[in-house]
Amino acid sequence: MNSGRERVERRLAAVLAADVAGYSRLMGADEEGTHAALSALRREVTEPNIAEHRGRIVKTTGDGFLAEFPSIVDAVRCAVELQREMALRNENLAKERRIEFRIGINLGDVIIEADDIYGDGVNVAARLEALAAPGGIYVSKVVRDQVRDKVDFGFEDLGEQQVKNIARPVHVYRI
Amino acid sequence: MNSGRERVERRLAAVLAADVAGYSRLMGADEEGTHAALSALRREVTEPNIAEHRGRIVKTTGDGFLAEFPSIVDAVRCAVELQREMALRNENLAKERRIEFRIGINLGDVIIEADDIYGDGVNVAARLEALAAPGGIYVSKVVRDQVRDKVDFGFEDLGEQQVKNIARPVHVYRI
């Protein structure tokens, strides 16, 4: 019935991409200190928060991670709580030692493999992350449309933006 | 961390609502024959097709069913195959004995319980189904946006429509 096409496993997922703004600068200034601070953040903040929102970390890079969530509402709440917690921690630190995440969130019918996820839905999340300001959360229009009646914070419309390697412009909102 | 709000289980799901067009007329004309024909359809066409696309039937009514799928691409392919199979079967039947489904598909972050699903995402799917022509498939804009680069059939824009008990107009497409 499926015209011989090989079936890949697809799944609707909320994709959250995050990285540390100014990672190279932080590492250049204090390699071991930055590494220790990032490890502590992962253990004490990122991993518990993602688990609490039923997400999973798909992969980590030196300065960031990619996570997926079954619910987009949970993904957005997770990002907001992460950024709030980071802001609290940064209050007590000298400016040059502050660690700030940029976060991008998208929703898509992605291709799932054992230890990675693929597809436009993932690529757009990474592009949104790259656009985001340090400490910020950028989401696509579909994310905003799906969650705006279900959460108690607002979305600022940043308009359509052309991003690298994505055919259609992405309509971007900032939380 | 979640401001004391009770946590409900949400999940991104593709929601497919279907019912039999003219069910009362069919039952009025031949109650036992219609019941037998619908049972055969469910066993031979609907259930295997939904299972093949990794969906599950959440509940059935006398003349229809509500199903959810982890992937929106799979949900749309399932609906197209269902309607094609029904059209083939109807070719050999007298007009008054033909059984035609109306199908509506939406995507949403829905609330999952053991044997039911809830939320705007479900309600909109049911409204799309009610709008659909016999043998037709109506979907919301978010469905069309998510699948249009991943399937080989087109979408006709039917514009925004106000539907019962849904605050915002729904942008409707016909496959």
Question: What are B32-42's pLDDT values in tens digits?
Answer: 888 888 888 99
Q: What is the ipTM of this complex?
A: 0.74
Please say if the pLDDT value at position A166 is more than 90: no
Backbone torsions φ then ψ of B107, nearest 5 degrees:
-125, 135
* Residue B81 touches chain A, beta carbons under 8 Å: yes
B119, closest residue in chain A (CA to CA):
A150
CB contact under 8 A, A71 and B109: yes
pLDDT band at A26 (very low <50, low <70, confident <90, very high): confident
Selected residue with higher pLDDT from A162 and B13: B13
> What tokens does A16 get?
């959250």
Amino acid residing at B41:
L
User: With contacts defined as CB-CB under 8 Å, which chain A residues touch B107?
Assistant: 12
The minimum CA-CA distance between A9 and chain B, rounded to whole Å, is 8
> What tokens does A53 get?
């929102």
CB contact under 8 A, B49 and A145: no
Which single residue is written with the structure tokens 């995050």?
A18
Count of A–B CB contacts within 8 Å? 60
Q: Identify the segments of chain B with pLDDT beneath 50.
A: 1-4
| Closest residue to A11, CB basis, from B71, B107, B146 | B71
**Neighbouring C-beta atoms of residue A63, cutoff 10 Å:** 18
User: With contacts defined as CB-CB under 8 Å, which chain B residues touch A150?
Assistant: 109
| Closest residue to A1, CB basis, from B52, B107, B147 | B52
pLDDT band at A3 (very low <50, low <70, confident <90, very high): very low
Please say if the pLDDT value at position A6 is more than 80: no
| Closest residue to A109, CB basis, from B10, B73, B167 | B73
* Residue A107 touches chain B, beta carbons under 8 Å: yes
User: With contacts defined as CB-CB under 8 Å, which chain A residues touch B10?
Assistant: 70-71, 73-74
Alpha-carbon distance A108 to A142, whole Å? 9
B/e letters for B38-52, b = 16+ CB within 10 Å, e = fewer, are beebeeebbeebbee
**Neighbouring C-beta atoms of residue B26, cutoff 10 Å:** 22
- Residue B145 near residue B105, CB atoms below 8 Å: no
What's the whole-number mean pLDDT along residues A112-133? 89
Q: Collect contacts of A153-158 with beta carbons under 8 A, ≥24 apart.
A: A153/A80
CB contact under 8 A, A109 and B146: yes
Please say if the pLDDT value at position A1 is more than 60: no
Predicted TM-score (pTM) of the model is 0.83
How many H helices and E strands in chain A? 6, 8
- Which among B41, B18, B4, B1 has a CA at the least distance from the CA of B129? B18
* Residue B2 touches chain A, beta carbons under 8 Å: yes
Question: What are A70-95's pLDDT values in tens digits?
Answer: 999 999 999 999 999 999 999 988 88
Share of chain A above pLDDT 70, in %: 96
Alpha-carbon distance B157 to B154, whole Å? 10
Please say if the pLDDT value at position A175 is more than 70: yes
User: For residue B98, what are the CA distances in angstroms to B130, B138, B147, B170?
Assistant: 19, 20, 30, 30
User: Phi-psi category of A107—alpha, beta or left, where left has phi over 0 and alpha has psi -120 to 50?
Assistant: beta
A170, closest residue in chain B (CA to CA):
B145
B/e letters for A8-20, b = 16+ CB within 10 Å, e = fewer, are eebbbbbbbbbbb
> What tokens does B16 get?
């497919």
B positions 119-138 inside 8 Å of A (CB): 120
Selected residue with higher pLDDT from B35 and A165: B35
Please say if the pLDDT value at position A2 is more than 50: no
User: With contacts defined as CB-CB under 8 Å, which chain B residues touch A14?
Assistant: 12
- Residue B101 near residue B83, CB atoms below 8 Å: yes
Alpha-carbon distance A20 to A15, whole Å? 17
* Residue A10 touches chain B, beta carbons under 8 Å: yes
CB contact under 8 A, A14 and B10: no
What's the whole-number mean pLDDT along residues A40-62? 91
* Residue B1 touches chain A, beta carbons under 8 Å: yes
